[in-house]
Amino acid sequence: MKYLDIYKSLKNDIRSGIYMPDTKLPSALELKSLFKVSTRTIQHSLNLLEKEGLIKGVRSQGIFVRNTKDLLSYGNLKNNGRISKVGILYPRYAMHTVGLAYFVHIFWGIQITLVKDKIRCYLIETRDKSIPEVFKEINALEINGLICLELENETLQKELEQLKLPLVHLELVSFRSSVPMISANHFQGGELSVRHLHGLGHKKILFLYARKKNDPDTDPTIKMRWQGIQSEAKKAGISAAKESIQLQQPRNEERASMEHILKAYQDCSGIIMACGYMLKTMKSIVENEPAKKNRSVDIVSFDEIDSVPDIGGRPVYFCVWNNELMGQKAVETLLNWNSSRPRIQYLPMYLSKSQDDK
């Protein structure tokens, strides 16, 4: 029996209600025994069902029949061929980020490009929402194009791809997805940071980044920055080390962690910080602690924080990219979603001083 025959048989069983929505499908081994075929043949059949949005795999639990009412009921581009409403999905609270230059510039780039084609856009928060809740919001707004910003939730990524809508990811690098992505060139950013610090005479570099509690996996962006740092340090014949600080810990514990790291790496006078929110703590340690007053450091940050233009009298440099251009490219890629563009488009990074220091 061919995998297409098995696919059609299972599809008919799902459509006829033999396998009801939100119930578990027999395992691959059980289906293998039932149809008397190889595991590979069964997997081909299941892949087709998953691509069609009829089933979904849940890690460590099995394969479940999808409730098709959860899938998008609007915005079928095959019928009208045009994107008229774009949803911008991002995993944060809008009121917490509305004043941050990073988001403002990206949203502005998206908005001014959409306005030219008279396309409406809607901001959809995904934080603390279930997948059905996100889908209902997309349905209610009749969204037929999606731009996802820093959407690292792999389960939600996979579910959104089942909608068969034009979709573009921003500031996400995933090698498991076939969806178009636009990201800053963080490898290049790592290289630029080391080159700048080495040019100032620093021979030992420390890379500080934040990690989630009990999460051993390093963010792909952090990995790319570290690879760029290692590459440039090797070329320059200098050393580079990395250390992490746990996210969302009390301020005094964060400070204690940073003090401990700086003491352990006191010979590292060039510091690269992945998270700008730690800059205030770094400034306080370097400038106010008696033991640190004579410490002379130069710092490069990947987050632009205007409130910390300098530390210890030395300007902080920020490794940034053109956020407005990123928003524009997202729209251009979305509106030409069926064209042959590179799957991942990288934007160049550059070093800049804080606006307060210019």
Tens digits of per-residue pLDDT, 172-182?
Answer: 777 677 889 99
How confident is the model over 90-96, as a mean pLDDT?
A: 81
Q: What are the phi and psi torsion angles at 147 (to 5°)?
A: -120, 120
How confident is the model over 324-352, as a mean pLDDT?
A: 92
- 85 pLDDT higher than 80: yes
How confident is the model over 96-116, as a mean pLDDT?
A: 88
Which CATH number fits the domain that encloses residue 337? 3.40.50.2300
Report the C-alpha gap between 222 and 190 in whole angstroms.
9
- 146 pLDDT higher than 90: yes
- 65 pLDDT higher than 80: yes
Name the residue range of residue 230's domain: 186-320
Distances (CA, A) of 50 to 45, 74, 158: 9, 20, 10
- 316 pLDDT higher than 90: yes
Residue 268 belongs to some domain of the structure: yes
**For position 15, what pLDDT does the model report?**
82
Residue 355 belongs to some domain of the structure: no
Whether residues 190 and 291 share a domain: the answer is: yes
Domain boundary among 17, 33, 68: 68
Whether residues 254 and 341 share a domain: the answer is: no
Distances (CA, A) of 353 to 55, 193, 200, 261, 318: 50, 13, 15, 25, 6
Whether residues 197 and 273 share a domain: the answer is: yes
Instruction: Name the token pair of 259.
Output: 């003090």
pLDDT in tens, 15-64: 888 888 888 899 889 999 888 899 999 998 998 888 777 887 777 778 88
- Long-range interactions of 334-342: CB distance < 8 A, separation 24+: 334/83, 334/86, 334/145, 334/146, 334/147, 334/166, 334/167, 334/168, 335/83, 335/117, 335/145, 337/83, 337/145, 337/166, 337/167, 337/168, 337/180, 341/180
b/e sequence 292-319, b meaning 16+ C-beta within 10 Å: beeeebbbbbbbbbeebbebbeeebbbb
Whether residues 143 and 35 share a domain: the answer is: no
**For position 75, what pLDDT does the model report?**
46
**For position 217, what pLDDT does the model report?**
62
Residue 356 belongs to some domain of the structure: no
Domain boundary among 29, 50, 68: 68
- By DSSP bridging, strand 181-184 and strand 344-347 are parallel
- 247 pLDDT higher than 50: yes
pLDDT in tens, 263-304: 999 999 999 999 887 898 999 898 886 655 556 899 999 987
- 338 pLDDT higher than 70: yes
Number of structural domains (the chain) is: 3
Least trusted range by pLDDT, from 191-195, 252-256, 351-355? 351-355
**For position 2, what pLDDT does the model report?**
83
- 153 pLDDT higher than 70: yes
Report the C-alpha gap between 21 and 15 in whole angstroms.
10
Contact between 172 and 213 (Cβ < 8 Å):
no
Contact between 18 and 9 (Cβ < 8 Å):
no
Whether residues 97 and 204 share a domain: the answer is: no
**For position 1, what pLDDT does the model report?**
63
b/e sequence 211-235, b meaning 16+ C-beta within 10 Å: beeeeeeebebbbbbbebbbbbbee
Residue 358 belongs to some domain of the structure: no
- 254 pLDDT higher than 50: yes
pLDDT in tens, 52-63: 778 877 777 788
Which CATH number fits the domain that encloses residue 62? 1.10.10.10
pLDDT in tens, 69-81: 655 554 455 446 6
Whether residues 190 and 300 share a domain: the answer is: yes
Give the pLDDT band of residue 328 (cuts 50, 70, 90): very high
The number of C-alpha atoms within 13 Å of 201 and in the hemisphere containing its C-beta is 2
Instruction: Name the token pair of 236.
Output: 């320059």
Mean pLDDT of the chain: 86
